[in-house]
Each structure stands twice: as C-alpha cells, then as structure tokens.
Amino acid sequence: MKLITLISLLLFGNICIAKKHIIFLHNKFLETHNVNESHPKYGKVQLNEIKQKFKNAGFSTIINKRNSATKSDSAINQVIHQIDSIHKINSKDTITVIGTSKGGYLAQMVSSKLKNPKINFIFIGCFQESDIKEYPNINFCGNILTIFEKTDPFGVSAIKRKQTSKLSIPNFKEIELNTGLNHGFLFQALDTWIKPCIKWANNDYK
C-alpha cells in the first residue's frame, strides 16, 4: 500500500525532487570578447568546456553573460532574482554561485546583499589585501570557498575578509593552487579548480 501511494505521488508530481544549480559569473575579458577570441597572454576562456563539466556532474548551470555596458548593480540583482526564482519552485534546491576574477567580485557582492547563509559561494582569483579598504562594504555570507593561484597577483588568502565580515558564514575553506599559469588558470577548464567547486556545490564542505 505504501509503495502504491509513493508511486502515485511521483506520477502526479506531488513530490518535488530537489535539484542542484550553479550560477556562473565569468571574468572581465568576456565582457568585451566572445568565447572564440583569445587573450594575448592567457588564451581563450573555455566557457563551454567549464559549463559542460558542471553539467556532466549533474548541475543545472546558468551562465550570466555580461558585456561592458552591464552595470554591477544589474548583474548582482540578476543573480538574486535567479536565486529567488529557483527557490519559489523548490525551496530545497541547492544553489551555488561561482565567480571568476571580476565575476568573483560580483559574487562577493551578491553574498553581501543576499545575506542568505544557506547559499554556497565560490570566489576564484578575486581577492587582494587592498580590497579590505577599497571595498569595505563587502561582507561574506553563506558557505564560502575561495580558490586562488600562487603565481596570480590575485592569489592571496581572503581570510582577512572573513574576519571583517559581520554576517553568517557556516562553512569557510580556502584552496591555494600552484599551476604556474598566473591569472590564466581560471581561463581553462582545469580539474584542479573545477573538482573542488563540484565538491563544494554538493554541500561537501570538508
């Protein structure tokens, strides 16, 4: 009898299975170039390959393509609207916001404005110690993973930002890479940063 009831619920859509979502915010280069154009130093942004790896891992992946005319407030509000829209359908869905370089700064601002400790955030190649003074209004909130590269000018720990943040951070972790690719590491669909993202987006915070 219980089995029949369960099957009926599934057939009639009364059970809404939670899904996993990634909202990906790309770097500044793609604001003025398409995915087929190459950066003179770092090559092409492998955006399609990055998206495919997240898709293969079972995530519904939204890529917010910006251009140079896109204002930061608009980009931030778009992400917040997307999160709200997803949770209106199913509040149990898992959402992870991933940002690389400038996209990472936008993701930090989403974290600050949204103030939702249940959302996962991953900031990649987007922190310098001078940010504490230059962007004093950023407050991390949520489950925060930062990934940085030892040879990258933006490759420093964001622990000071965690310490100055006044909002809830249930989980916090940092990963330092040493690919030797400078800031170009985030142009490529490297497992060295994508696999930790997938793990974090699966709510594995170890």
Q: Are 154 and 120 in contact (CB under 8 A)?
A: no
Task: Give the per-residue pLDDT at 17.
Answer: 82
The rounded distance, in Å, linking the Cα atoms of 24 and 75 is 12
Assign 204 to helix, strand or coil. Answer: coil
How open is the CA angle 176-177-179, to the nearest 5 degrees? 160
Q: How many CB atoms lie within 10 A of CB 185?
A: 25
What is the pTM for the complete model shown? Answer: 0.92
Class of domain 18-201: alpha beta
153: tokens are 């000018």
147: tokens are 């990934």
Q: Is 12 exposed, middle or buried (0-12, 13-18, 19+ CB in 10 A)?
A: exposed
Helix residue ranges, H only, the chain: 2-11, 29-32, 47-56, 72-89, 102-114, 131-134, 159-164, 191-201
Q: Where are the domains of the chain?
A: 18-201
180: tokens are 């030797």
Minimal CA–CA distance to 153: which of 187, 184, 194, 109?
184
- Residues of the chain with pLDDT below 70 are 1-16
Q: Are 23 and 79 in contact (CB under 8 A)?
A: yes
Task: Give the per-residue pLDDT at 1.
Answer: 53
Per residue in 92-135, pLDDT (tens digit) is 999 999 999 999 999 999 999 999 999 999 999 999 999 999 99
Per residue in 54-63, pLDDT (tens digit) is 999 999 999 9
The rounded distance, in Å, linking the Cα atoms of 141 and 171 is 10
Task: Give the per-residue pLDDT at 4.
Answer: 54
Task: Give the per-residue pLDDT at 155.
Answer: 86
The rounded distance, in Å, linking the Cα atoms of 169 and 63 is 25
Task: Give the per-residue pLDDT at 2.
Answer: 56
The rounded distance, in Å, linking the Cα atoms of 143 and 172 is 6
Q: Is 54 exposed, middle or buried (0-12, 13-18, 19+ CB in 10 A)?
A: buried
